[in-house]
Structure 1
Amino acid sequence: MRVSEWVPGIQVVTTYEKKWLPRDLIAGIVLTTLLVPQGMAYAELAGLPPITGLYTSILCLLAYFVFGPSKVLVLGPDSSLGPMIAAVVVPMVMAGGDQEKAVALASVLALLVGIFMTVAAVAKLGFVADLLSHPTQLGYVNGLAVTILIGQLPKLFGFSTEGDGLFDDVKGFVTGLGDTVPAALAIGAGGLAVILVLQKFLPKVPAILVAVVGAIAAVTIWDLDVAVVGPLPQGFPPLTIPLVSLDEFGILAAAAVGITLVSVTDTISTASTFAERNGQEVRGNQEMAGIGAANLAAGLFQGFPVSTSGSRTAVAFAAGAKTQVTGLVGAAAITLMLLFVPGLLKDMPQPMLAAVVIAASFGLADIKGMVRLWRQRRMEFMLALAAFVGVAVVGVLPGIAVAVALSVLNVFRRVWWPYRAVLGKPAGVDGYHDLQQYPDGAQLPGLVMFRFDAPLIFANARTFREEIRHLAQDGTRWILVAAEPITDVDTTAADMLEELDEELNAKGISLVFAEMKNPVKQKIDRYGLTRTIDPAHFYPTLDDAVAAYERSHG
């Protein structure tokens, strides 16, 4: 494998065209106006100092330039990961705890996510993103949106609360309303309104930048008594190896698994969306390598876990970004600000950061998607609802486990209780079809055609047997299994088939198969099932089997 396949940045440098530079420069500058306030806001969402959001943004953009395969994806602090990071870090440092300790914990978390991502990329485990089905993702992000919204409301109103879970946060917010700071609420609510209105009616205007500049101007001009970010540290943090205890490492490792899964799923879905627009193909394993490198880089420079950002990617794409040089421009612009004008954002109000996060939570929520599931498939709506409740009630990290478990159980349910059908031949329609759809379909006396729409394995062997027993009525001579949907037969199912065939033979009924795939037929032969099932009772098509039945029974 060529080095450039695992280090796409080499190809970007060697094939870069000068005509792309103006568009990448403009897109990078536009992107920076979003990277700075969102990076700071999402750092606070994760329970960390705002400056760490800028460190993280710089390092992940640089690393993804070197190792990321997509031309336009933008990585950085993400609203969906913030609550997950906070759920781990905040309890470990306790309320009002040591910020340096919090940064160290978050950095180790980023390093672990980077290691897991890199190992998964090398092992070609991109399919793990499939562990979160769309309904469970939908429920998860809606639960996350509610959790973020409720958690940020106190800051928007100018006070703070301490709570453990959604209900505690709601109670703390309601009881703390008497401590509302009018100036903070005016800044926060006003900034939120500006963001939402501009995003709705003037999407090309940088809504967050306008709101942030307005909030800073209001605090400066009227000297409002509102909590502000304060001066940022000048310069750049040195290479740092964060240290934690063994017990803390275990907790962080478990959390990193959940964050890795969410980050992979989010990245693959976002990459697929923009790859279609660019005519590119998604390289899932290389995407994981790129995100892994970004997390490793962030973790070594006082950063925290990152993922792909759909909103920032959309901004870069709309601004005309051609390559990852856009990200380099953004990283350079943030670095220059920290080196030469670190006090530029010292008067940014804390309620304004809350407004940025709340606006992001509105973008996460997908109520229409839930309504569509309710109309289209109630079972999948219930899965989405269960994932929502898991995140909102149990917690963000346990909610990930709930969402994954629900996705896996849903797959298992479909295999356990697959669709089954008795077939007939409708007049005027070619082939044999489900009698529930064509109740007038013709059936030959003594012949029952049965279709089982799943691989035949240990989980559904009993279901298959009971269905066949139910069909084995008086007068039945053949039970013909339309085996085309049966993609596998395991040893448990093979033992069941052997016992079932002997049971049916004792009643004078033959178990017959048609359209069985060759790999499955080879397994049947290897299991020795043809000792009991007549080898002549395997037919290439249903028509052949029906013709044989007619010849033998008239």
Structure 2
Amino acid sequence: MNTTQLAKYLPILDWGRTYDRGTLTNDLVAAVIVTIMLIPQSLAYALLAGLPPAMGLYASMVPIVLYAIFGTSRALAVGPVAVVSLLTVAAVSKIALPGTAEYIAAAITLAFLSGLILLALGLFRLGFLANFLSHPVIAGFITATGIIIAASQLKNILGVDAHGHTLPELIGSLAHNVSQVNWITAVIGVVATGFLFWVRKGLLPLLVGLGVAPRKAGVVAKAGPVAAIVATTLVVWFFDLAANGVQVVGDVPKGLPPLTLPSFSMDMWSSLIGAAVLISVIGFVESVSVAQTLAAKKRQRIDPDQELIGLGAANLGASFTGGFPVTGGFSRSVVNYDAGADTPAAGAYTAIGLAGASMFLTPLIFHLPKATLAATIIVAVLSLVDFSILKKTWHHSKADFAAVAATMSITLLMGVELGITAGVSISVLIHLYKTSRPHMAIVGQVPETEHYRNVLRHDVLTDPTILTIRVDESLYFANTRFLEDRIYDEVAKQPALQHVVLMCSAVNTIDMSALESLEAINARLRVGGVTFHFSEVKGPVMDQLSATGFLEILSGEVFLSQHGAQSALRVRSDL
């Protein structure tokens, strides 16, 4: 294998050849900014996943280095994200109690299984399978999970005990325990949340208005969560608010990520494999969407199958270094891009920064209130909530609206796993329904042209002896009966008919079921004294028809163009 072929699987060999001092500077600046952002995010997402805060830092180190070696995006920042963290706690809490050694082992194993699945999909180049998740369904799912995540963090904002994986369960549990609200915690949580919302929307314009350079103002604005962490930690420490019931992060072990092994218990694997598949697919879709968006801005290229390999390696790395499932995060990737990251090396430098924080700064977050981390999560996930997708799909396609509405409703009421499963299932069913009833049009000639259009939409010329039907879909087992019925109905309406032409300009493939239907149509029309023709058949479809011998029994001809068919058949009809 030469260097070019090897670089296909190790993209670092590609961008590494042109690495220079200017690129190093840009990557280091981006790494500093992303590191500042990732420290509170990593701790918060570990909390969301029901895991010790240190595991959030661990999951943000080795995985991002491995992605830098195997991934193709130059701006994607890999680590824990909100949706995957929620999927993790939903899956792992079914087999173990949060905080137990078994729970931690299950989360590590989940990362391992997810890594194996992603790696297998990448090696077998099966990235196209993610296309079965439509964008509206993903948007609906993320909106619903954002609401659930925000609701799940209200217990930390209010300082009460609550549980549940669906919105009704969470609301009911919060309502039941509302009398236990710790008002000091609530004040910290509400103030931190309000401050972070203001930082997200108002700090940058304020700084720019005061004359601060936009780039420096952006760096300061991105550091808003760090300011909230520092301020609330100092308040809790100075007034010893932990003694008054304010829950704090507590002791976070210092040092680099430990070496860990996933469980190889078949019972645990069978319990987690379904969730691992969901996490892999959802994580990949979210990651590759972000990566492609950012790459397009610099006219760079993303290889989805290699992205699967990069994310698979990242998750395997997480499983062997005390982490949990990871993927490319939207907010941190955008920050990484905006901060000027030129190559994936910025991620490796970020990992070094997080390693330093893990070794030297963890004692400083002992008094960090969990309410502040909860505020960080709430502000982050609510930016993903987008109810406008309902309005957009309602106006565009009622079927897509049904898929989105069902996904959101089932996710909120029955849980994230059932929600996304229902969304995928409904999307596939809708696709099958639409393609089983393809759009068909009777076409005629636009006067004084060689163009043919739908007789219901245009003033066109038609011949009572010639019927041309354009089918706007590939022909396969689900829509062949619909095609047969339409042709027979139209033939029955026109007693003077001599020729039927199937215009195939939109047909990309014909399967065996469709071929048998075409044979049946040909035979039935022949009995009725009507010849069956084709026009504008694509090359691959023509190859299929030729290979099966269908053309030998066809009563009519295959014409290169519809105008050629109409001209030739009109002459025959006149004879």
Q: Which residue of structure 1 lines up, in the alignment, with residue 509 of structure 2?
A: 488
Q: Which residue of structure 1 lines up, in the alignment, with residue 108 of structure 2?
A: 107
State the alpha-carbon separation in 2 of the partners of residues 541 and 430 from structure 1. 9
Alignment of 1:141-290 (within 5 A): 141-203=142-204, 204=218, 205=221, 206-224=223-241, 225=244, 226-243=246-263, 245-290=265-310
State the alpha-carbon separation in 1 of the partners of residues 344 and 170 from structure 2. 40
Q: Which residue of structure 1 lines up, in the alignment, with residue 32 of structure 2?
A: 29
State the alpha-carbon separation in 2 of the partners of residues 550 and 310 from structure 1. 60
State the alpha-carbon separation in 2 of the partners of residues 496 and 341 from structure 1. 71
State the alpha-carbon separation in 2 of the partners of residues 237 and 142 from structure 1. 33
Task: Give the superposition deviation at 1:341.
Answer: 3.0
Distance 1:395 1:527, change over 3 A: same
State the alpha-carbon separation in 1 of the partners of residues 489 and 230 from structure 2. 73
Asked if 1:92 is matched to 2:95, the reply is: yes
- Which amino acid is the alignment partner of residue 282 of structure 2? V
- Which amino acid is the alignment partner of residue 231 of structure 2? G
Distance 1:515 1:111, change over 3 A: same
Q: Which residue of structure 2 lines up, in the alignment, with residue 397 of structure 1?
A: 417
Asked if 1:459 is matched to 2:494, the reply is: no
Task: Give the superposition deviation at 1:413.
Answer: 2.3
State the alpha-carbon separation in 1 of the partners of residues 305 and 467 from structure 2. 48
Q: Which residue of structure 1 lines up, in the alignment, with residue 498 of structure 2?
A: 477
- Which amino acid is the alignment partner of residue 139 of structure 1? G
Task: Give the superposition deviation at 1:529.
Answer: 2.6
State the alpha-carbon separation in 2 of the partners of residues 306 and 61 from structure 1. 9
State the alpha-carbon separation in 2 of the partners of residues 243 and 505 from structure 1. 67
Unaligned runs of 5+ residues in structure 1 are none
Distance 1:267 1:98, change over 3 A: closer
Q: 2:444 aligns with which of 397, 404, 424?
A: 424
Q: Which residue of structure 2 lines up, in the alignment, with residue 133 of structure 1?
A: 134
- Which amino acid is the alignment partner of residue 295 of structure 1? N
Distance 1:62 1:518, change over 3 A: closer
- Which amino acid is the alignment partner of residue 66 of structure 1? I
Contact conserved, 1:138 with 1:370, CA < 8 A, in 2?
Answer: no
Contact conserved, 1:156 with 1:185, CA < 8 A, in 2?
Answer: yes
Task: Give the superposition deviation at 1:135.
Answer: 1.2
Contact conserved, 2:466 with 2:570, CA < 8 A, in 1?
Answer: no
Secondary structure class of the residue paired with 1:92:
coil
State the alpha-carbon separation in 1 of the partners of residues 14 and 507 from structure 2. 45
Secondary structure class of the residue paired with 1:513:
strand
Distance 1:12 1:426, change over 3 A: closer
Task: Give the superposition deviation at 1:41.
Answer: 0.7
Task: Give the superposition deviation at 1:139.
Answer: 1.2
Distance 1:401 1:285, change over 3 A: same
Distance 1:507 1:389, change over 3 A: same
Distance 1:282 1:475, change over 3 A: same
Contact conserved, 2:66 with 2:313, CA < 8 A, in 1?
Answer: yes
Contact conserved, 1:479 with 1:511, CA < 8 A, in 2?
Answer: yes
Q: Which residue of structure 1 lines up, in the alignment, with residue 567 of structure 2?
A: 547
Asked if 1:443 is matched to 2:462, the reply is: yes
- Which amino acid is the alignment partner of residue 37 of structure 1? P
Deviates more, 1:307-316 or 1:515-524: 515-524
State the alpha-carbon separation in 2 of the partners of residues 528 and 11 from structure 1. 49
TM-score, with normalisation over the residues of structure 2? Answer: 0.92
Q: Which residue of structure 2 lines up, in the alignment, with residue 503 of structure 1?
A: 524
- Which amino acid is the alignment partner of residue 542 of structure 1? Q
Secondary structure class of the residue paired with 2:256:
coil
Q: 2:346 aligns with which of 310, 323, 326?
A: 326
- Which amino acid is the alignment partner of residue 395 of structure 2? R
Asked if 1:520 is matched to 2:564, the reply is: no
Q: 1:67 aligns with which of 63, 67, 70?
A: 70
Deviates more, 1:402-411 or 1:55-64: 402-411
- How well do the aligned residues superpose, as a CA RMSD in angstroms? 1.8
Q: Which residue of structure 2 lines up, in the alignment, with residue 358 of structure 1?
A: 378
Secondary structure class of the residue paired with 2:411:
helix
Per-residue CA shift, 1:446-472, capped at 9, x if unaligned? 222111111111111100000001101
State the alpha-carbon separation in 1 of the partners of residues 99 and 360 from structure 2. 28
Contact conserved, 2:450 with 2:563, CA < 8 A, in 1?
Answer: no
Distance 1:307 1:448, change over 3 A: same
Secondary structure class of the residue paired with 1:119:
helix
Secondary structure class of the residue paired with 1:252:
helix
Deviates more, 1:123-132 or 1:425-434: 425-434
Task: Give the superposition deviation at 1:244.
Answer: 5.2
Secondary structure class of the residue paired with 2:532:
strand
State the alpha-carbon separation in 2 of the partners of residues 12 and 538 from structure 1. 51
Contact conserved, 1:48 with 1:99, CA < 8 A, in 2?
Answer: no
Deviates more, 1:77-86 or 1:65-74: 65-74
Task: Give the superposition deviation at 1:429.
Answer: 6.0
Contact conserved, 2:52 with 2:99, CA < 8 A, in 1?
Answer: no
Asked if 1:44 is matched to 2:47, the reply is: yes
Task: Give the superposition deviation at 1:187.
Answer: 1.1
Q: Which residue of structure 2 lines up, in the alignment, with residue 311 of structure 1?
A: 331
TM-score, with normalisation over the residues of structure 1? Answer: 0.95
State the alpha-carbon separation in 1 of the partners of residues 450 and 199 from structure 2. 57
Q: 1:9 aligns with which of 12, 17, 23?
A: 12
- Alignment coverage as a number of residue pairs: 550
Deviates more, 1:29-38 or 1:459-468: 29-38
Distance 1:326 1:448, change over 3 A: same
State the alpha-carbon separation in 2 of the partners of residues 436 and 251 from structure 1. 56
State the alpha-carbon separation in 1 of the partners of residues 417 and 50 from structure 2. 15
Unaligned runs of 5+ residues in structure 2 are 205-217
Distance 1:482 1:16, change over 3 A: same
State the alpha-carbon separation in 2 of the partners of residues 542 and 413 from structure 1. 29
Contact conserved, 1:491 with 1:527, CA < 8 A, in 2?
Answer: no
Deviates more, 1:123-132 or 1:76-85: 123-132
Contact conserved, 2:399 with 2:430, CA < 8 A, in 1?
Answer: no
Task: Give the superposition deviation at 1:164.
Answer: 4.6
Task: Give the superposition deviation at 1:11.
Answer: 4.5
